[in-house]
């Protein structure tokens, strides 16, 4: 089941979605609709999405886009729960894991510069809540 892209709420409807977050909101709604098909007697009330610091997605714009998409539709009661995932690095030398701030990759424990990103790239649907 696809989201109706030509929503009357979208002023650019004829050309698809010019706004990045609105397209992502549409993908989230598609997943909700697909999951809903598996629970014909239930009703999806919430969808949880992880947004990594490096995902390039603005949470406010995504929240707004989602609300615009579901407004006046049967999906309006679905709450979008966004969880921000900070960038986490793991040291290649001492395996220490740390939250990276100010783009400083240096390991605070041993001083090593070569550290790998192990968190912060997420753009994942984590869970959904269904009232059955």
Partner 1 sequence: MNRIEVEKKVLNENQVLAEQLRERYRQLGVLCINLISAPGSGKTALLERTLQRMDKGSRVAVLTGDLQTENDAKRLAKFGFPVKQITTGGTCHLDARMIGKHLADWKLEDLDLLIVENVGNLVCPSSYDLGEDAKIVLLSTSEGEDKPLKYPSIFFKAELMLLTKIDLLPYVPFNADVARENARRVHPQLEIIDVSSTTGEGLDRWMEWLRARQERAKAKLHTATAPH
With CB under 8 A as the contact rule, the residue among 3, 7, 36, 49 that binds partner 1 is 49
**Interaction between residue 67 and partner 1 (CB under 8 A):** no
CA dist 91 and 89 (Å) reads: 7
**Interaction between residue 24 and partner 1 (CB under 8 A):** yes
Min. distance of Cβ 45 from partner 1 in angstroms?
Answer: 7
CA dist 57 and 63 (Å) reads: 11
DSSP string over 19-65: SHHHHHHHHHHHHHHHHHHT-TT-EEEEEEEEEETTS---HHHHHHH
Q: Restricting to residues 99-118, which ones interact with partner 1 according to CB under 8 A?
A: 103-105, 113-115, 117
Min. distance of Cβ 79 from partner 1 in angstroms?
Answer: 12
**Interaction between residue 69 and partner 1 (CB under 8 A):** no
């Amino acid at each position: 089941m696809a989201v109706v892209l030509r929503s009357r709420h979208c002023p650019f409807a004829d050309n698809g979605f010019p706004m990045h977050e609105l397209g992502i909101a549409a993908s989230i709604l598609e997943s909700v609709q697909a999951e809903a098909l598996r629970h014909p007697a239930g009703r999806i009330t919430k969808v949880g999405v992880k947004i990594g610091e490096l995902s390039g997605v603005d949470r406010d714009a995504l929240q707004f886009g989602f609300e615009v998409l579901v407004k006046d539709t049967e999906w309006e009661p679905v709450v979008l729960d966004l969880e921000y995932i900070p960038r986490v690095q793991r040291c290649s030398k001492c395996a220490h894991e740390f939250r990276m701030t100010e783009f400083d990759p240096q390991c605070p424990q041993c001083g090593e510069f070569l550290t790998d990103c192990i968190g912060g790239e997420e753009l994942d649907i984590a869970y959904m809540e269904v009232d059955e």
